[in-house]
Amino acid sequence: MTAENTVEFLKILAHPVRLKIIECLKGKEKTVNDIQTELRKSQSTISQHLKVLFSANILTFRKDGLKSYYKIADPKVYDILLNINQYIADRSQQKIEDISSTSITDTLY
């Protein structure tokens, strides 16, 4: 995997609607209408982001009559998101600890 692949993957994950769709699909498949209702976004917005996630192989779908059911292709995506969130939380905690350990006189100079 190249740096460019990593950048492209992270760009795909870097949109709030896409992250909400991924979370919405955790553990179950849903129709576009289900996702739209849950996220309170327009059908065109949801469809646009589903297309991006599907093109990146993050989602799969199946047809049942007129309905398309979407689901997460590989649940490891949740591990990736968990690691990113943990990293952010750890960095925030470290920043708080650094600020807390600085004496008031250190901040004046």
pLDDT for res 100: 64
What residue type is 37 in one-letter code? T
Q: Strand 67-72 vs strand 30-31: parallel, antiparallel, or unpaired?
A: antiparallel
Q: 90 vs 36, which has greater pLDDT?
A: 36
**pLDDT digit string, tens, across residues 40-87:** 999 999 999 999 999 999 999 999 999 999 999 999 999 999 999 999
Name the helix (H) or strand (E) containing 48.
helix 43-55
Is 109's pLDDT higher than 60? no
| Helix, coil or strand: residue 29 | coil
Asked if 70 contacts 59 with a C-beta cutoff of 8 angstroms, the reply is yes
